[in-house]
A and B are shown apart, each in its own frame.
Chain A
């Protein structure tokens, strides 16, 4: 067969680095405004840690929306449940958690994180089967069902744990800071950055190096065609939903430790933030979600430092600015 269509050279795919450079550009722009290099660096560390935690919570949500067009306003419930489940380990084992031994601290922290992720994954399974499955393709009903689910989850947490704020102090080994010259960086923030990076790299490896990842990427772009090729995308979606719920649970544990307290409305508070990140990043884009989370955290931290009153609306302003520049988010994957 003649290959008329291939006569010309293929244009090199355009690599879109601009959004990826935004966090670094924003941080550099803040340096003269903040004035003090040590304050700037401390704020940067706080931003990176906060951004990574938000990314962990939001990464599942962006894939859930991208893959199946499901609006899950109940995602915050997984965050809250994750944080509360962690208290089941942290409170009884407070002695180990506050011992001056990293091994003892990890013996509490790791099981707490694993238990939270396990329980939120199972909760994700139940939510997908009971709340999401009957309303596939119906956005309004999805919003009603998942918002209702969030309210029920929140009230259940109040009923089980009571309305009081539950303290969840950091393990002793994670208290304090590392000092680099004039810059103090909290140990826990470094851990949060590390965990966030591990999650990001793991997701990228799964998406880009495995067959399941290939199916997820294809499904985010055109799930109908994936089904027409013989793949049962609903099962894949259930798996992604459970992983997303587990990551939200992990994010809840980390956020609870970051704030050193847990309360039932933690999910409510973070749902809006997580949705802003997903929208800024581009629905279905894990890379966009990562950058969006960093930007949101930077705007919150630097904005809060420079113009405290602006902190109330800074995330919304950021979202408006990004959407005016790129109406489908930083890295648009789906056409939705």
Chain B
């Protein structure tokens, strides 16, 4: 299986802070790669650096073999990268429909794809013309993910989609992400929820202090409590 995304020796500075300190990893095509780590390890910075929102100060980032570390955020998005930020970042003053229309860059929503999305996010159909700001936290997260997949993407970067959501909504989101995965999407997913990580992850990367300190199969990490405690400071079972 070929690698869709590769990072080699990526460093990122934010102001005078040196956040990413030589990040190296690859995301295989068609797989879901989990990016785990303690708070402040650099996971969100990694996604934002790939997306061009914080420029890499050094190193190489390649998407399908093409270098993108010097590209602007819109150019990276146009290469087929969808981004779901930790904050959800739905446009509160816009309707659900308008949020999704913005996700489709040519302005035309594919009806069949919309039906597929409504299949696991029926609330979005129901509140089609409602302001996104009036949705609940879970519905906003659904909208944020729906906006990222309203068009087919080569790669999805998703930052802690289950954070702060009720367990029932987390389960629903996991089912949705599984469905997206079944369609062959390549996903790089930052997640702290053990259940979600185990259910979704094929491969796992663990970060600490701005560098990758472990890489391997998600299943192997899920079964190795000692390794979890060494890498993450606690077992994933206690970190739900």
Cross-chain pair count, CB within 8 angstroms: 102
Can you offer 5 A-B residue contacts whose CB atoms are under 8 A?
A1-B176, A2-B168, A5-B169, A6-B127, A215-B102
Does A333 reach chain B (CB closer than 8 Å)?
A: yes
Does A231 reach chain B (CB closer than 8 Å)?
A: yes
How far is it, in angstroms, between the C-alpha of A11 and the C-alpha of B105 when the chains are bound? 30
Closest-CB distance, B180 to chain A (whole angstroms): 11
* Known A13-B133, A218-B91, A230-B77; contact A5-B138, beta-carbon cutoff 8 A: yes
Q: Are B92 and A228 in contact (CB under 8 A)?
A: no
Q: Are A13 and B134 in contact (CB under 8 A)?
A: yes
When C-beta atoms are compared, the residue in chain B nearest to A220 turns out to be: B93
Tally of chain B residues near chain A (CB < 8 A): 46
Q: Are A217 and B94 in contact (CB under 8 A)?
A: yes
Partner of B123, one of A3, A214, A227, A231: A3
Does A122 reach chain B (CB closer than 8 Å)?
A: no
Question: Inside 8 A of B26's CB, which chain A residues have their CB?
Answer: none
Interface of B is mostly: helix
Does B85 reach chain A (CB closer than 8 Å)?
A: yes
Does A226 reach chain B (CB closer than 8 Å)?
A: yes
Does B228 reach chain A (CB closer than 8 Å)?
A: no
Q: Are B169 and A231 in contact (CB under 8 A)?
A: no
How far is it, in angstroms, between the C-alpha of A4 and the C-alpha of B85 when the chains are bound? 22
Closest-CB distance, A5 to chain B (whole angstroms): 3
Per-residue interface assignment for chain A, residues 208 to 220, with 1 indicating a CB less than 8 Å from any chain B CB and 0 otherwise = 0001001101100
* Known A229-B147, A230-B74; contact A3-B134, beta-carbon cutoff 8 A: no
How far is it, in angstroms, between the C-alpha of A10 and the C-alpha of B128 when the chains are bound? 11
Which chain B residues numbered 73 to 117 have a C-beta less than 8 Å away from chain A? 73-74, 77-78, 83, 85, 89, 91-94, 98, 101-103, 105, 107
Closest-CB distance, A1 to chain B (whole angstroms): 3
Tally of chain A residues near chain B (CB < 8 A): 29
How far is it, in angstroms, between the C-alpha of A215 and the C-alpha of B134 when the chains are bound? 20
Q: Are B91 and A230 in contact (CB under 8 A)?
A: no
Which chain A residues numbered 1 to 58 have a C-beta less than 8 Å away from chain B? 1-6, 8, 10-13
Does A261 reach chain B (CB closer than 8 Å)?
A: no
How far is it, in angstroms, between the C-alpha of A231 and the C-alpha of B101 when the chains are bound? 13
Does B120 reach chain A (CB closer than 8 Å)?
A: yes
* Known A214-B102, A217-B94, A230-B78; contact A6-B175, beta-carbon cutoff 8 A: no
Q: Are A228 and B102 in contact (CB under 8 A)?
A: no
Q: Are B102 and A1 in contact (CB under 8 A)?
A: no
Question: Inside 8 A of A230's CB, which chain B residues have their CB?
Answer: 74, 77-78, 105
* Known A6-B122, A214-B101; contact A1-B136, beta-carbon cutoff 8 A: no
Which chain A residues numbered 181 to 228 have a C-beta less than 8 Å away from chain B? 211, 214-215, 217-218, 221-222, 224-228
Partner of A229, one of B72, B98, B105, B131: B105
Does A232 reach chain B (CB closer than 8 Å)?
A: yes
Q: Are B119 and A1 in contact (CB under 8 A)?
A: yes
Q: Are B91 and A221 in contact (CB under 8 A)?
A: yes
Closest-CB distance, A58 to chain B (whole angstroms): 20
How far is it, in angstroms, between the C-alpha of A215 and the C-alpha of B99 when the chains are bound? 10
When C-beta atoms are compared, the residue in chain B nearest to A218 turns out to be: B91
Most chain B CB within 10 A, of A2, A211, A227, A228, is at A228
